[in-house]
């Protein structure tokens, strides 16, 4: 059984599910996929674009670099990680470097990884 952490971000700008809705979606997804949740990270009312506005997401990144307590970071919606696709691609790249994954009920790792690879190819061709 793989270990997982979950990430919740709410925004006072709207557009994201409530904390409770996110938690229900994450718990259902983790259970359906056989993940044991061992950690949680929550950025309540955090702006959506830049990483430095999300201290708990940075803590999750530090975990994969140093402690390696879990393999998968689950969010209810990809926009919880960031509202910009390019930032999500960069986050997926960071996770891939350490052998970890990002997953959501409507976007599994394969999709995050494929998008990240396409994005990185496009950026290197500029």
Is the dihedral angle over the CA atoms 76, 80, 83, 87 positive or is it negative?
Answer: negative
Q: What is the pLDDT of residue 49?
A: 76
DSSP state of 79: H
Q: What is the pLDDT of residue 40?
A: 97
Distance CA 113, CA 10 (A): 24
Q: What is the pLDDT of residue 123?
A: 87
Q: Give the count of beta carbons closer than 10 Å to the beta carbon of residue 87.
A: 15
User: How much is the mean pLDDT over the chain?
Assistant: 93
Mean pLDDT of 64-75: 94
- Single pTM value for the model: 0.93
Distance CA 33, CA 51 (A): 28
What percentage of the chain reaches a pLDDT higher than 90? 77
- Contacts of residue 47, Cβ cutoff 8 Å, sequence gap at least 6: 11, 13, 53
Q: Per-residue pLDDT for 126 more than 70?
A: no
For residue 96, give Cα distances in angstroms to 15, 65, 89, 123. Answer: 28, 11, 10, 17
Q: Which residue has the higher pLDDT, 54 or 50?
A: 54
Q: Which domains does the chain have, with CATH numbers?
A: 3-124 (3.40.50.1390)
């Amino acid at each position: 059984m793989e270990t997982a952490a979950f990430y919740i971000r709410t925004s006072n700008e709207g557009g994201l599910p409530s904390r409770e809705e996110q938690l229900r979606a994450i718990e259902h997804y983790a259970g359906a996929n056989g993940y044991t949740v061992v950690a949680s990270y929550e950025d309540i009312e955090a702006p959506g674009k830049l990483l430095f506005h999300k201290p708990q997401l940075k803590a999750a990144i530090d975990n994969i670099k140093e402690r390696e307590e879990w393999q998968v970071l689950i969010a209810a919606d990809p926009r919880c990680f960031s509202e910009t696709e390019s930032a999500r691609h960069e986050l997926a790249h960071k996770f891939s470097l350490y052998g970890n994954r990002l997953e959501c009920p409507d976007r599994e790792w394969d999709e995050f990884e494929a998008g990240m690879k396409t994005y990185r190819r496009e950026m290197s061709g500029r």
